[in-house]
Structure 1
Amino acid sequence: MMKEDSIDCKPNLETYAMLFNVLLKKFNKLNVSYVYLNAVRSLNKQMKALGVVPDTYVLNMIIKAYAKCLQVDEAVRVFREMGLYGCEPNAFSYGYLFKGCCEKGRVWQGFGFFKEMREKGLVPSSGAYMVLVCSLALERKFEDAVEVLRDMLGNSLKPDLLTYRTLLEEMCRDGKGIEALELLEEFRKKDVAMGERTYNELVDSLHFVDR
């Protein structure tokens, strides 16, 4: 109704931000997300047709929608277009992008975006860090995974048990059991949140995998 010529109340950036925000809340499962992605595409086209200039917040939601649906090329395209609207990518822009790349299996591309954002002094969320660490570990890129995990701890963000286990157990499976145990001792000193129970679980799991 707002789009009708007879109505003197046209949709503006705030209108579209609200609509995108409501749609993104529906992106909780991949098969459901694909359904709502069409609505995101439609709103984006409509917004451009009406001459509404998006801001970083709105563009990030569009990037997030594409990334969650593993439409990585589309997410990258929107990311690259941010400068056309006078918008600067922030930590959320990069985080959505490299998480999507990792989940798509394009881990090296995701790692490239991570390095780019860190060069700009931007810090990812804990969730984004952990996805990248696990993805690199599963790709046997152990040095890079350790580098990312150290960076995460250096920014006072705490990995969860699954992230530690994925990295250290994959190292054990690759014949690097001694290095994995040495790293565990290093992480224990750096991660004050790592309790005795978590540490013991990790030690037990590494000994089990190394048998």
Structure 2
Amino acid sequence: MALLAAAAAARRFSRSLRRFSSYAASGGEEAGGVPAGVVEPESPVRAPPDEQFAAWVARLRPGFTAGDLAEAISSERDPDLALALFRWAALRPGFRHAPASYLAALTAASSGRRPAAAENLVYDVLAGACGPDLRLFNACLRFCCARRRLFPLAFDMFNKMRSLPASAACRPDVETYTLLLTSVVRRVRRPPASMVYLHAVRSLSRQMKASGVVPDTFLLNLIIKAYARCLEVDDALKVFREMPLYGCEANEFTYGYIVKAMFQKGRTDKGMVYFREAREKGFVPTGGVYMTAVSALALEWRFEESRNVLIDMLDCKRKPDMITYRTLMEEMCRAGRAEDAFELLEELKERKRGPLDQRMYSELLDGLHWISQPHQDRVSPCDKRSDD
């Protein structure tokens, strides 16, 4: 009974100490940035039963190490009980948490949907509450990169890793750069707003090369994807040509990013070169790459190539959308090839497992009938080949 009472008192003192520390550190605000006096919604964290907690305390032999504690936390399925054990151990005289126990507690908090507790652990690690450890730092980065508001904290952790001496063996590795670049590339959409994030991609790429980290195919694809989304085709091709130097081979995603950026940039001839190269290697592009190629070729009135890409797309079980069909067939009508457009429509309808349902067929047929009628100011047929 004395052991049970002492354990309960230690947990109550730990909660009070953490609540007071978070209040004082925020200058009169509760943890999470909520002003004092504002009632927060009830936390999902619950206090574990005293019987279960006392059983775990009794199971840990006197003089237990941080490794024993980490093993106990990892084997406990209840995240609240695991975190209670972690906080109780911190109050033991002469005990100091090691990276293994912090990693186990962070894993329990993040997988158990206790983000507030996990965030407090990340701040403790950043403040130097335990020794440096590469696995622990990468786990903190993974938690921060998965949450938008903790994105700056991820770079604080990255800068801490870079500032450590080489003897600590905690410099950023491939996993570190992959986590950061994945989080950054997720925010890269269209220029010019995405140019801010593209600067971060360039900076991380330079630091990776300077530190001697050898990237893998996935990491290089992330860099190519960022350049391609911002239509920086030359930079994407530069990374593409450097892949053999690192022992990496381009895959269907690599070619897909480059081909799509080429067509969006207006460099149709070069885009078709890389598209054919990918198909010769047996890579099947995504539906978005196929649709971009069909539309770009149709807008330049290269109808035979556009039609061949469309048929290849259907053969590879990729389904175009309505805009792709309309772009190709309506451009054929504008070029004075209305009969070819109607023949293509009927051919697509008669294909086995046809890609056109009745609704799409009716809408396309009505659009072709309307656009093939004589109108004023019609553009005369001309060759709109690419300048590449």
Interval containing the TM-score (normalised by the shorter chain): over 0.9
Counterpart among 172, 182, 187 of residue 21 in structure 1: 182
Give 1 or 2: higher helix fraction. 1
Matches within 5 A, 1:130-149: 130-149=291-310
- Bigger radius of gyration: 2
Counterpart residue number, 1:102: 263
Matches within 5 A, 1:79-90: 79-90=240-251
Work out whether 1:3 is the aligned partner of 2:171: no
Contact 1:23 1:40 in 2 (8 A): yes
How far apart in 1 are the matches of 2:265 and 2:356? Answer: 30
Contact 2:191 2:230 in 1 (8 A): yes
Q: CA 1:17 to 1:42, structure 2 compared with 1: closer, same or farther past 3 Å?
A: same
> Residue type of the partner of 1:4?
S
- Segment of structure 1 superposing worse, 6-15 or 71-80: 6-15
Contact 1:2 1:10 in 2 (8 A): yes
How far apart in 2 are the matches of 1:29 and 1:116? Answer: 27
Counterpart residue number, 1:186: 347
1:51-105 superposed Cα distances (whole Å, 9 cap, x missing partner): 1111111111111111111111111111111111111110100010011011111
How far apart in 2 are the matches of 1:148 and 1:141? Answer: 11
Counterpart residue number, 1:116: 277
Counterpart among 357, 364, 369 of residue 207 in structure 1: 369
Counterpart residue number, 1:159: 320
Counterpart among 252, 270, 281 of residue 91 in structure 1: 252
How far apart in 2 are the matches of 1:160 and 1:103? Answer: 18
Per chain length, whose mean CA-contact separation is higher, i.e. which structure has more relative contact order (CA < 8 Å, sep 6+)? Answer: 1
How far residue 192 of structure 1 moved from its aligned partner, in angstroms, is 2.6
How far apart in 1 are the matches of 2:197 and 2:169? Answer: 29
1:84-143 superposed Cα distances (whole Å, 9 cap, x missing partner): 111111010001001101111101111111000000000000001000100000011111
> Residue type of the partner of 2:192?
N
Work out whether 1:58 is the aligned partner of 2:58: no
- What secondary structure does 2:249 align onto? coil
How far residue 189 of structure 1 moved from its aligned partner, in angstroms, is 2.5
How far apart in 2 are the matches of 1:18 and 1:32? Answer: 22
Counterpart residue number, 2:357: 195
How far residue 183 of structure 1 moved from its aligned partner, in angstroms, is 0.6
Counterpart residue number, 1:46: 207
How far residue 27 of structure 1 moved from its aligned partner, in angstroms, is 1.2
Work out whether 1:176 is the aligned partner of 2:337: yes
How far apart in 1 are the matches of 2:348 and 2:176? Answer: 46
User: Structure 2 regions of 5+ residues with no counterpart?
Assistant: 1-159, 374-388
- % identical equivalent positions: 52
- Segment of structure 1 superposing worse, 182-191 or 138-147: 182-191
TM-score after normalising by structure 2: 0.53
- What secondary structure does 1:81 align onto? helix
How far apart in 1 are the matches of 2:194 and 2:347? Answer: 40
How far apart in 2 are the matches of 1:82 and 1:138? Answer: 33
